[in-house]
Amino acid sequence: MLIMTRRLYFAAAHRELPNSELTGNTYTLDVAVRGPINERTGLLVNIKELDRIVKERVLNQIDGKCLNDRISFFQTQPATPENIATYIAETIQPLLPSEVQLHSIRLQPTPVLYTEWFSQLTEAANMLLTKIYEFSASHRLHSDHLSEEENRDLFGKCNNPNGHGHNYELEVTICGPINPTTGRVLPPECLDAIVEREVLSRYDHRYLNLDVPEFAHVVPSAEMIVKTIWERLRPCIPTPARLYRLRLYETPRNLFEYSEADQKE
């Protein structure tokens, strides 16, 4: 099976709740379909046909519009990114060519937040919500289990006794059902408070080896940082939501991911 993603854009205004303020976003929409490659055409699906379906049935109805006024679905449901992604998925899924299936919908209303609908999530009606955070910290890669020479050989410049720093980018993804009242998997401000308390206030502008107790005798590699953050955040996410995935960018070229699949191994 092959997965192909088509990116589109639209702008829309909305009220998340009936009495809330009218706001708007320019959305990035990724529509992913999966299926076998047609040996005759070499294609998974005709992109023009996919564009036509999405534009005619979704974008023409919502682009430049107020969702609550235009779409009956949002007259009874909060116009949150989670519900918008669900509406798009449910609208286009039965209209796709028979040779492909809808794999996922990824909707990004801001540079630091996106939601994902997946056809193959194990629990029905579950969504993924991701929020992106930044923190700066310094560290020294040095293991108590190795000799000074072994540490220098293994870690090189990263073994500098005075340490070195990074501007880290952390993606926190939670999974759960959409709350019918709020339209959210978890209110972003609730996730913000948890990440601020458990991660940012502890790690930001710190020398991890000396300032953070969990790294006193643990090498603060990016691998161990993302695993430690997982262990701090996981018990703090209120049910029925749960921590699903962490991605830690140490540099634009170094990405480390830890997920609930890793936890089960």
Catalytic residues: 158, 205, 250
- For residues 74 and 67, the answer to whether their CB atoms sit within 8 Å is yes
Smallest Cα–Cα separation from 88: which of 117, 64, 66, 126?
117
Q: Which residues contact 126 (CB under 8 A, 6 or more apart)?
A: 175, 176, 177
Task: State whether the Cα torsion 34-179-200-212 is positive or negative.
Answer: negative
Strands 2-14 and 65-66: parallel
User: Angle, nearest 10°, between helix axes 47-54 and 81-92?
Assistant: 120
Q: What is the dihedral of CA 20, 22, 23, 24, to 10 degrees?
A: 140
